[in-house]
Amino acid sequence: MDLPKLAIAALGGTVSMQARNAGEGIVPAVTGETLLESVPELATLARVSVETLGLLPSASLDFEFLLGVLSWANVQIQQGAIGVVITQGTDTLEETATFFDYLWAHDQPLVLTGAMRSAANAGADGPANLLDACRVALAANSRQRGVQVVMNGQIHCASAVRKTDSLALQAFSSTIVGPVGMLVENTIHYLRPPAQRKVLPLPQQTTQKIALLEASLSADSLMLESILELGYDGLVIAGFGAGHVPENWAEVIETIAGKIPVIIATRTGSGSTARSTYGFIGGEMDLIRKGASMAGLLCPRKARVLLWLLVGCQRQDALASYLSKD
């Protein structure tokens, strides 16, 4: 039987980490090729090509590097792969998935996975997560679903998934909507049909800078007042509650929003920003009047990814349509 072609890229992260010497902290060391040896069953499911594109902790990934990874993934699809799997660290996995999802124009699935336990730990979850991710990437019912994250037996949509625990195996969840699917006895079960997606063109520039600030109790506005002077091209604020900021921030935001795009998201970790409930200075109605956009269900980190891409392809005027989608 002619097996389907599957492409895997390893970027590093905990799934690839070991300690070089006893008593030292773990660091990226295990290549994709070595990781593949931990899942021999995969050879019965697909013709697998694997490349190690990096051995980095995910905190050190950047947009430029990810564009290179995306280019590699596009080539794999052009060469006949029916799915692509990427392994990386979990610290920025939710942001990477969002970045790729806005740019992934193929019906074939792109699946991200990682691990919460290092390759050297007893009970390391990397091999199981990798095998699950490959099963999802190979499944016919995974087509037209864009980018997904597979962790701990669950399948999450890129737009909803978040890392919600620092160390636990069940570190990833999709607040409000829940996982889009799960693996049961090695079979992929989707709970919802594919959602309509809006794909952006590749950014024409990559030097744009988007700031992310969080509102907090009794916060001063010194950093906020410096945003324009520092040369930022956009600003995301993780606001209180349904998208609120201190009164002393509101006037500054009006000045900034007259020059660059400003998005107000919620710092709560779940739920949507409001649009027409609170009318006090610094409330969402006041901020909208001052020119800011409300993020809706999009979390602050994902809003920053979106704004970076929109500015990069000169589509910041379309911001409202992407936020209403989410």
**pLDDT mean over 310-321:** 96
Q: Is 180 exposed, middle or buried (0-12, 13-18, 19+ CB in 10 A)?
A: buried
Pick the CATH number of 210-325 from 3.90.79.10, 3.40.50.150, 3.40.50.40, 3.30.70.3270: 3.40.50.40
> Rounded CA gap, 212 and 61, in Å?
17
Q: Where are the domains of the chain?
A: 5-190, 210-325
Q: Can 5-190 and 210-325 be said to share one CATH topology?
A: yes
pTM of the complete model beyond 0.85: yes
Per-residue model confidence as pLDDT tens digits over 134-184: 999 999 999 999 999 999 999 999 999 999 999 999 999 999 999 999 999
Q: For 5-190, which CATH class?
A: alpha beta
Task: Give the Å distances, CA to CA, from 55 to 48, 58, 82, 103.
Answer: 20, 9, 25, 23
Burial of 122 by CB count in 10 Å (0-12 exposed, 13-18 middle, 19+ buried)? exposed
Q: Which of 12-21, 106-115, 245-254, 281-290 bottoms out in mean pLDDT, i.e. has the lowest?
A: 12-21
- DSSP 8-state assignment for residue 187: E
Tell me the mean pLDDT in the region 262-281: 97
- What is the reported pLDDT for 60? 97
Residues 6+ apart with CB under 8 A from 296: 272, 273, 323, 324, 326
Calculate the alpha carbon distances from 294 to 70, 178, 298 in Å: 29, 23, 9
Q: Binning pLDDT at 50, 70 and 90, where does residue 293 land?
A: very high
Nearest Cα residue to 82 out of 35, 37, 48: 48
